[in-house]
Structure 1
Amino acid sequence: MKRSVVLRLSAVLGVAGVAGAIAFGVPQLQANADAVLAADGFAGQNGGTTGGSGGTTVKATTGTQIHQALCGRAASDTPIIIEVEGTINHGNTTKVSGDSCNTAADRIELKEISNVTIIGVGAGATFDQLGIHLRDSSNIIVRNVTVQNVKKSGSPLSNGGDAISMESTVRNVWVDHATLIASGGESAGYDGLFDMKDDTEFVTLSYSILRNSGRGGLIGSSETDTGNTAITFHHNRYENLDSRVPLLRGGVAHMYNNHYLKLNESGINSRAGAKARVDSNYFEDSKDVLGTFYTDAAGFWQVSNNIFDNVTWSAKGTENNPAGPNVTSNTSVSIPYAFTPDGASCVPAIVAATAGAGTGLKVSDGKCSATAAPVPSATATATASPSASASATTTASPTATSSATASASATASPAAPSGVNLSLGAGADGSSKASGTSYGNVKDGKPATFWAPNGATGDVSIKWPAATKVSRVVIVEASGSTLGAYQVINGATGAVLASGTGGGTISFPAVSTTKLTLKITNSTGTPRIAELQTFAS
């Protein structure tokens, strides 16, 4: 049953919020029926980063409307997706007050909140001379936006001069397909493009452009601010920057498949005990692209498969320790998630085809080709709800050692359940794999890829570095699959949790485990598993 605009607004904003939304001209809210879109890299760890998935959707064309949407939520953690179009600047951004927000007039303030997605739509979203600031917040996604010419001195001022900044207990942030640009260095009034400090963890910056600034960004504001860690940078283009790509103080960061072009003074600056994992990047026409610079507090790095194209190196000194010209690892850095990098030689081309706002959210397929990213489906009306396209019946026993039976359509793929797909960012292995398939294909979020055993039966498993609660599995089959009977097994104990036939959803009493196995015991042909999704509830 359809509801009026006011009823839809009041359900989310409350009476005061309705008045504010009407006053500021916020378009009607809609229930979001999209599939969960989750981050990769370190942002996929610590429970994952899904932003406002599962929440309502608001459209905004001013900074005030963005703040109004945040302040009108029922609570500071009520999920919301804010679709932004047009230019956001000081002239249309004011402070908005409410119980579920803590905003400011001179920046887009995401403070003491969680479960928010800000995404550029339509003709695009540009934050002009106005930065985005995260403080004491978690589970935030920012996608498809341009942030430009944010100053820390001169006029106008915004966000301390940072395009995007995070500080003071920030967790699980994904910035994707963003363009962050300045028009000069510190002397011209600009600071960093992407800064993290004062206890920021589990962040991924992907498919973005950082350009024309004195400072790319830092992780840690001083030699004593070393509690910031677990940051991933991949498929980004860093161009015409003087330094800090990033400056890393303490903690662990992973850089892979980035294109670094015209780094004028220094590049990845690992210091104060930091550890940088540097895989399959392309460094071009640059100076001192990796090392410890401007300090005697040593940092460390592990390198593999990088290309150094016309890179120059300075001499070593007391406060200058470049990694080159003979670049070798001086530490070992463990990464808790699976990743498949493109070959370094194709990085300039694949990054040029995918990085930045307004590129259609294209991503790499891991084989040096651009492909469409998984994106949320169109929003539905407030009374709509996602429904499974495959039916399943499950009878689960109260004990972890007995089995359950399940039946589902072998050809239809169910809609994604609510919650975080725990397989994204996890590891995978198995008993065998057919030629051209991979275990990792079942947890890459790409239904076009799949795993098949070398025969009619076999095992594939999802693995986590720490015990993880699981109570539901969604088996998504690829075209032509002939999945027969299977068991879902607690890989840590060997206990059979459930059994069934065909693809679909199967539930069982929750278990805490480091490994969950799909054991295919019978098929008439070759089963093809596109996704093995796992959920806590």
Structure 2
Amino acid sequence: MAVLAGCTALVLTVTGTGAQAGSRDLGREVLAAHDGWASEGAGTTGGSAAHAEHVYTVTTWAEFRQALADGGDAPKIIKVKGMIDAVSEGCDAFAADGYDFQQYLADYDPQVWGNDTPLSGEQEDLRDASADNQGKAIKVSVPANTTIVGVGKNSGILGGSLQIKGVDNVILRNLTVEAPIDCFPQWDPTDDNKTGAWNSEYDGVVVYGSTHVWIDHNTFTDGRYPDSSLPSYLGKTYQQHDGLVDIVRGSNYVTVSWNSFEDHDKTMLIGNSDSAAATDTGKLKVTLHHNRFEDIVERAPRVRFGQVDSYNNHFVVTEDQSYGYTFGIGIESRLYATHNAFSLPKGVSAARTLKKWKEAPLTAENNYVNGKLTDLIAVHNAEIPEESLQSGAGWKPTLRTRVDSPRAVPWLVDHRAGAGRVC
């Protein structure tokens, strides 16, 4: 076992498939013991045992899709070289014949359609067909026993959606993932208290009903299309982004480590529905450590049901950004958030780092705000008494690597989290 100071502990597996002693092959590295929930039980090894015929280097979206499909659930390693684009032909390539966005706006303008009735009619049907075309093109299923790694410092995926659905044992590392743009958001006239809103699909990564997933040293960002660049139609922002990484529908044993999450609104859901008790109770065990969240509006993460361990993360709120909250406390959640660092600008109170959605106890200890030890729950309850939170998650994490001082976290995480920084 090679333990790397200041980084996630790693185990390097060298098999008879061409790996040389002393060389570094990210595809052969596996999650170390005790490194978060994904190390539970048999741990997470991804495709590290892949035979040579199941090791791929891809440079296009088509090659990537083919590599994912090849070989079934046999261990595989996919090395992404350069930035591969799932929407290289542009949004118009997905549009159904007859779809006309200007006609869509005219047909469903609230002054014409109103705000009481869900959309129907030709243009909505054509929008839906267009969205279906895009979904088929940009969504890809990641099979069990797979490792996907970026080659070098500038490799990853533009506009694709990785679906880790109903499988076990997946690793994603060293990728830059630009959030998918929804080319065909739906106007919902009844949303936002019947003032209407645009709703979008597609997350960068979805972990859905899956187990033993390690997401490490990636950069997740809106990239070329920040929300600030999005236009407004029908009086509302034309929202084209959904989540960056969502962990939902009974997923379990996930470690999210040393990633950079940047410039996004609804960043991470852990549990996506209050009505999912049958699938989610006792699951959604997720560890978040040594991640950097900058210019994130909300959901870092928002938690339902799960036992989520969040430690040694750095949350950066910049002066002019929109900011809602960091940790969302949802139904039957048991968040354990300690040894984190927050950098907040003047005028943003530490009370806002927590947001209560449903009654659920949490542990939030030894967190530092602007270099000062701060009791997040006490500050929240003092300033927002109508959303008073209970202290004490009722469990204590045992699957942790070295816990760094929260005073050291800003420097450590800012210099080592994200793609191209695996050490």
TM-score (norm 2): 0.67
Misfit runs of 4+, over 6 Å: none
Q: Tell me which protein shows more strand as a share of its residues.
A: 1
**Residues 53 and 92 (structure 1 numbering): CA distance in 2 closer, same or farther, change over 3 Å?**
farther
2:207 maps to 166
2:114 maps to none
* CA distance in 1 between partners of 2:385 and 2:240 (Å): 30
* CA distance in 1 between partners of 2:315 and 2:163 (Å): 25
Where does 1:413-492 land on structure 2 (aligned, <5 Å)?
none
Matched residue SS, 2:46: coil
**Residues 256 and 280 (structure 1 numbering): CA distance in 2 closer, same or farther, change over 3 Å?**
same
1:247 maps to 302
Identity of aligned residues (%): 26
Contact 2:87 2:138 in 1 (8 A): no
Where does 1:208-357 land on structure 2 (aligned, <5 Å)?
208-226=259-277, 227=280, 228-262=283-317, 264-285=323-344, 286-287=348-349, 288-293=351-356, 295=357, 297-309=358-370, 313=380, 315-316=383-384, 318=386, 320-321=387-388, 329-357=391-419
**Residues 128 and 330 (structure 1 numbering): CA distance in 2 closer, same or farther, change over 3 Å?**
same
Give the superposition deviation at 1:197.
1.1
Tell which structure's C-alpha radius of gyration is larger: 1
Give the superposition deviation at 1:292.
4.1
* CA distance in 2 between partners of 1:292 and 1:188 (Å): 23
Cα deviation per residue 1:414-472 (whole Å; 9 max; x = unaligned)?
Answer: xxxxxxxxxxxxxxxxxxxxxxxxxxxxxxxxxxxxxxxxxxxxxxxxxxxxxxxxxxx
User: What is the RMSD of the two structures over their aligned residues, measured on CA atoms?
Assistant: 3.1
One-letter identity of the residue aligned with 1:110: S
**Residues 192 and 91 (structure 1 numbering): CA distance in 2 closer, same or farther, change over 3 Å?**
closer
Contact 2:153 2:419 in 1 (8 A): no
1:119 aligns with 2:174: no
* CA distance in 2 between partners of 1:337 and 1:32 (Å): 33
* CA distance in 2 between partners of 1:266 and 1:43 (Å): 26
Give the superposition deviation at 1:153.
5.2
Matched residue SS, 1:67: helix
Cα deviation per residue 1:147-183 (whole Å; 9 max; x = unaligned)?
Answer: 113224548xxx933111111x211111111111121
* CA distance in 2 between partners of 1:290 and 1:274 (Å): 16
* CA distance in 2 between partners of 1:339 and 1:123 (Å): 25
1:131 maps to 161
Where does 1:76-91 land on structure 2 (aligned, <5 Å)?
76-91=72-87
* CA distance in 1 between partners of 2:217 and 2:29 (Å): 18
Contact 1:49 1:141 in 2 (8 A): yes
**Residues 106 and 203 (structure 1 numbering): CA distance in 2 closer, same or farther, change over 3 Å?**
same
One-letter identity of the residue aligned with 2:333: A
One-letter identity of the residue aligned with 1:68: Q
* CA distance in 1 between partners of 2:205 and 2:412 (Å): 24
1:110 maps to 141
**Residues 32 and 221 (structure 1 numbering): CA distance in 2 closer, same or farther, change over 3 Å?**
farther
Contact 1:280 1:343 in 2 (8 A): yes
Q: Which has the higher contact order (CA 8 A, sep 6+)?
A: 2
Mark the runs of 5 or more structure 2 residues left unpaired by the alignment: 1-15, 20-24, 94-134, 186-199, 229-236
Give the superposition deviation at 1:71.
2.1
One-letter identity of the residue aligned with 1:109: V
Contact 1:131 1:147 in 2 (8 A): no
1:51 aligns with 2:46: yes
* CA distance in 2 between partners of 1:306 and 1:141 (Å): 29
Q: Tell me which protein shows more helix as a share of its residues.
A: 2
Cα deviation per residue 1:164-215 (whole Å; 9 max; x = unaligned)?
Answer: 1111x21111111111112128853111111111111111111111111111
User: How many residues are paired up?
Assistant: 312
* CA distance in 1 between partners of 2:285 and 2:411 (Å): 27
* CA distance in 2 between partners of 1:241 and 1:321 (Å): 24
**Residues 299 and 184 (structure 1 numbering): CA distance in 2 closer, same or farther, change over 3 Å?**
farther
One-letter identity of the residue aligned with 1:246: P
* CA distance in 2 between partners of 1:108 and 1:82 (Å): 17
Quick one: which of 10, 13, 17 aligns to 1:31? 17
Matched residue SS, 1:300: coil
* CA distance in 2 between partners of 1:240 and 1:36 (Å): 31
Mark the runs of 5 or more structure 1 residues left unpaired by the alignment: 1-29, 95-103, 324-328, 363-537
Contact 2:336 2:393 in 1 (8 A): no
Cα deviation per residue 1:342-380 (whole Å; 9 max; x = unaligned)?
Answer: 100010000011100112x02xxxxxxxxxxxxxxxxxx
**Residues 152 and 358 (structure 1 numbering): CA distance in 2 closer, same or farther, change over 3 Å?**
same
TM-score (norm 1): 0.53
* CA distance in 2 between partners of 1:132 and 1:115 (Å): 15
